[in-house]
Amino acid sequence: MPYTDITVGPGFAGFVVLFLLAVAMYVLFRSLTHHVRKTRHAAQERRKEANAPDTQS
């Protein structure tokens, strides 16, 4: 079998897989950021309620 100088790369399929992984990571990170912000806001509200003086008689 004669030696041929052919290089094989990932090609278009590799690009598509990498692109889809990047898009999925972007969506997941945005979702994570949203949930972390919501959790922090809820914790701040609970802290404010706990530190607020009791005005009920």
- pLDDT of residue 37 exceeding 60, the answer is yes
Say which residue, 11 or 53, is predicted with more confidence.
11
pLDDT value of position 9: 84
CA 12 to chain centre: 25
pLDDT value of position 1: 62
What residue spans of the chain are helical by DSSP H?
11-51
